[in-house]
Amino acid sequence: MSDIPLEAVNVDGEGLRFGIVASRYNKDYVDALLESALRTLDKAGVRAEDIETIRVPGALEAPFVAGMLASSGEFDCLIVLGVIIKGDTSHHDVIARSTAEAFQRISRESEVPIINGVLDVNNEEQAKLRCMGKMDRGAEFATSALEMADLKVQLVRRLDEIYGSGHDDDDWGSFFDNDGDSPWKS
């Protein structure tokens, strides 16, 4: 990740629903990410009752819970938080790659954006800087989630206008598979 902060987009979070999956492994770092993300969502107007946080043992368990939350249809966006610190083996790389791939797959299949806030760092110093220091990745993950939740709501409204609110998921699939002139292409 770059050390250049994400440019904030002003999103009114009122009425948006978020699910957060947070690892208990490397708890102090993940707790800092979670607190920062929650502060950012609160500042954007997201009500506490519109956020559900579920703790899991580690990052490797997060895709299961994220998949279940995405399948519920209750959330506009999910944020997954975890910190993986490189050790003596390549286990950190296996966890980081497999969770990232799982989040992408779940997001595509469920049509719920997932913000991958699982940090893979080389040492404690990098973890501290990103979770408790000036980089503040928790706020960045929440800012991304706000933007993606807002985009999801806008795109669903657009699809509902095209297909009517009584659509089924198969209609949307044919819309995106359209080989002709698609209103989604510029």
In tens digits, what is the pLDDT along the chain, a chain of 186 residues? 456 666 667 888 899 999 999 999 999 999 999 999 999 999 999 999 999 999 999 999 999 999 999 999 999 999 999 999 997 777 888 898 999 999 999 999 999 999 999 999 999 999 998 999 888 999 999 999 999 999 999 998 888 888 876 555 544 454 454 444 444 433
Q: Domain residue spans in the chain?
A: 18-176
Query: Which residue in the block uniquely carries the two structure tokens 């975890």?
Result: 82
Query: Which pLDDT does position 90 carry in this prediction?
Result: 75
For residue 18, the tally of other CB atoms under 10 A from its CB is 25
pTM, full prediction? 0.83
Active-site annotation, residues: 91
Q: Which CATH number is 18-176 given? A: 3.40.50.960
Query: Which pLDDT does position 69 carry in this prediction?
Result: 97
